[in-house]
Structure 1
Amino acid sequence: MSESKQDIMRFPPSKITDVAKALSGDLRVRILEALGDTQLSVTQLAEALGVAQPTVSINIQILEQAGLVVTAQGSNREKLCSVSCRSILLELPSRPGDGLHKTEEIRMPIGMYSLCSVQPPCGMANRDGLIIGSTDDPRAFYMPERTDAALLWFSGAGYVEYRFPNPMPPGVSIDELRLRAELCSEAPSFRMDYPSDITVFVNDLPIGTWTSPGDFGDRKGKLTPDRWTSGTEYGVLTEWSVRADGSYVNGARAAATTLERLSLKYNQPIRLRFEIREDADNRRGINLFGSAFGDHPQDIVLSFIRFKEHQEGKES
């Protein structure tokens, strides 16, 4: 173990931010000092440093994610920690995009929409299961408290639109734009058989329609607060993606819209809209779940994916 710790660990440009964040905290540097060439449990580190065990655990996780610390489970199921190396080498970025991860994710709280068009029945609830504003009052969708929404719903046709920043610098292209969200139809109380055609638009171009089978309330959502007793409990985690050859919903081809047609620009927001269209066969609204409601601990996630290194601006 000691011999491996003398090795230099090389970090690519995409890991610089993670490593810098891990080394920027005084407590995390003290953890590395305490570990030295030995292996200590989280409890032993807490005693040595004089801080609470949960605090040590959180900071160990940051060091582990950066690759500076490795952990193993001891005989009594306690986490044992040791440093991964004694020296590090950071490779500085040499061209646009080098400092980015292969997948860059932006997580958008469901209440942070920029535009909406809703009709009752409609409403929003926060992470505690409390109604925001008044139920079935579209004015609630313009209240400042909407940013705390963990569940929003509306019936019939309508939409909510979000604006995402583009993390890609000029000259860096992506191979796939991927969206994940938990959602379902909107029925009075709930109704398992109640299809709704939910279409996603990016920059006003359709990237696919997913037909939700129903509004699900036959069991408690894994994250749904106990005080919530209004029917809808969980949704379906659904994925839309756009590639060079078209758009897909849950892996099945769904639209002809390509990445090129989206015209993504680094200095312009990406407009993303969940819509039940007026001309849809099934106009039965939507429930959109945030990280504290339903079955999945996530908000709306937009991913920018590069499968390979692009060589824009680099001489061949």
Structure 2
Amino acid sequence: MKIPVSIEQLAFYECLGSETRLRIIDYLRQEPHNIKDLAEKLQFSSAIITKHIQKLEEAGIVQTENVPGIRGVQKRCSLKLTQVELQFQEPPVTEEVSTLAAAGDTCSIPIGQYVDYQVTPTCGLASRDKLIGIVDDPRYFSDPEHVKAGHLWFASGYVEYRLPNYSVATEQLSSLCISLEVCSEAPGFQEDWPSDITFSLNGKELLTWTCPGDFGDKKGRYSPAWWTEKSTQYGLLKTLLVTHEGTFLDGVRMSDFSVHEISIESNQDIRLRIASLPSARHPGGVSLFGRGFGNYDQDIEVTWEYQ
């Protein structure tokens, strides 16, 4: 597994900064243990060990399962990772992303121009000039003015966009690059608010990325003056690239999903869905930023390559 050295992986690195958690890893390296065994070995209460295990599990280092025990059900813990590779620099594929951004068919899709949605509060929309409708009322996602939104947010659910397909009958899609500004959604804002955000194309899941938080520590570079400082201010710029080799996020290969699996004809659009699933480990919502909001003055930027 490859782990980029970045703020987005802070939870992973924090786990390795605890002597107790490193000792837990050392015990689990030898064999799986239940919570009670670890508590006795480390001379801590089961409650404290449980909290450490939760941290390790959230970072993807440890996995747990409930198994029958002498007195009811026990939680057995084992190592999920065998090794990791730290990436201090972006791999060469990021150069391909830059090349794609300068070539092929491109378009900008305003974040308010979604074609389908299903959202739950906290939720809302804002244009450069005002809030659109009433905050935390999902019905206003159907308001005709939603197309003017430069910022939208929801605690659970999805928004779906249609990406135009400019190919002709003799061409096949060889790569698709999508760039957007996004983060989690907490009431107000909360820097430590992880959210598993899932991206899908034509109903097929591309990848799930865990955003570390909902950012509001400082004013968004492009956010309008009227936007309250007590709310989410900006997100992280993420670039998804789908090629023949698989799907990449910011240059890191995330899944085997290849461009061949995007089943489209020359006259069919591509559906992009951005979701926070209630069943996710971190169901922390989604905040999207377009032109006039956040730290990057852009909408959802899409680049296609055909062959």
SS in 2 for 1:118: strand
Say whether residues 1:112 and 2:96 are aligned partners.
no
**Cα distance in 2 between the residues matched to 1:109 and 1:265:** 24
1:220 aligns with 2:219: yes
Secondary structure of 1:119's counterpart equals strand
Structure 2 distance, partners of 1:175, 1:268, is: 16
Q: CA deviation at 1:176?
A: 1.4
CA distance in 2, matches of 1:225, 1:104: 31
Q: Note if contact 1:207-1:240 (Cα within 8 Å) is conserved in structure 2.
A: no
How many residues align structurally? 205
User: CA separation in 2, counterparts of 1:217 and 1:192?
Assistant: 7
Task: Give, in whole Å, the separation in 1 of the partners of 2:137 and 2:115.
Answer: 18
Using structure 1 for the length normalisation, give the TM-score. 0.63
2:259 corresponds to which residue?
259
Amino acid at match of 1:170: A
Q: Alignment partner of 1:181: what SS?
A: strand
CA contact (8 A) 1:206 1:255 kept: no
Cα deviations by residue, 1:231-276 (Å, 9 ceiling, x for unpaired)? 1110001011111121111111112211111123220111000011
Q: Is residue 238 from structure 1 mapped to residue 245 from structure 2 by the alignment?
A: no
User: What's 2:293 paired with?
Assistant: 293
SS of residue matched to 1:201? strand
Return 5+ residue gaps in structure 1 as ranges. Answer: 1-100, 311-316
- How far off is 1:102 after superposition? 3.6
For 2:189 and 2:278, the matched residues in 1 are separated by 22
Structure 1 counterpart SS, 2:147: helix
Contact 1:217/1:232, CA 8 A, preserved across alignment? yes
Matched letter for residue 118 of structure 2 = S
Q: How many Å apart are 1:131 and its aligned residue?
A: 0.8
- Secondary structure, aligned partner of 1:121: strand
CA RMSD after TM alignment = 1.3
Cα pair 1:179 1:239 within 8 Å, conserved = yes
1:144 and 2:144 are equivalent in the alignment: yes
Separation of aligned partners in 2, 1:289 and 1:117? 18
TM-score normalised over the length of structure 2: 0.65
Unmatched 5+ residue regions in structure 2? Answer: 1-101
Could you tell me which amino acid in structure 2 is paired with residue 177 of structure 1?
L
Return the alpha-carbon distance in structure 2 between the equivalents of residues 245 and 140 of structure 1: 40
Is structure 2 residue 170 aligned with structure 1 residue 175? Answer: no
Counterpart mapping for 1:61-210 below 5 A: 102-128=103-129, 130-155=130-155, 157-210=156-209
Percent identity between the two aligned chains: 42
Q: Secondary structure at the match of 1:272?
A: strand
| 1:294 Cα offset (Å) | 0.3
Is the CA contact 1:199–1:277 (under 8 Å) kept in the aligned structure 2?
Answer: yes
Q: Which amino acid aligns with 1:106?
A: C
Once the two structures are TM-superposed, the CA of residue 278 in structure 1 deviates from its matched residue by: 2.6
Q: 2-side partners of 1:305 and 1:134: how far apart? A: 40
Cα displacement (A) at 1:177: 0.5
Report SS of the residue matched to 2:291. coil
Structure 1 CA distance for aligned equivalents of residues 133 and 160 of structure 2: 20
* 2:199 counterpart letter in structure 1: V
Distance 1:246 1:186 in 2: 29
Confirm or deny: 8 A CA contact 1:208 1:240 kept in the other structure. Answer: no
- CA distance in structure 1 between the aligned counterparts of 2:203 and 2:257, rounded to whole angstroms: 11
Which amino acid counterpart does residue 180 of structure 1 have in structure 2?
A: S
How far does residue 175 in structure 1 lie from its aligned partner after superposition?
2.7
Residues 45-99 of structure 1 deviation map (CA, whole Å, 9 limit, x = unaligned): xxxxxxxxxxxxxxxxxxxxxxxxxxxxxxxxxxxxxxxxxxxxxxxxxxxxxxx
Q: Find the counterpart in structure 2 of residue 284 from structure 1.
A: 284
Deviation at 1:217, TM superposition (A): 0.5
Could you say which structure has the larger radius of gyration? Answer: 1
In 1, Cα distance between the equivalents of 2:136 and 2:193? 20
Q: Tell me which amino acid in the other structure corresponds to 1:237.
A: L
Runs of 4+ more than 6 Å apart? none
- Cα distance in 1 for partners of 2:278, 2:216 equals 26
| 1:301 CA drift (Å) | 1.2
Deviation at 1:174, TM superposition (A): 3.5
Displacement of 1:146 after TM fit? 0.3
Q: Which residue of 1 aligns with 2:274?
A: 274
Whether the 8 Å CA contact 1:195–1:213 is kept in 2: the answer is: yes
Q: How does 1:27-42 map to 2 (within 5 A)?
A: none
Distance 1:279 1:114 in 2: 24
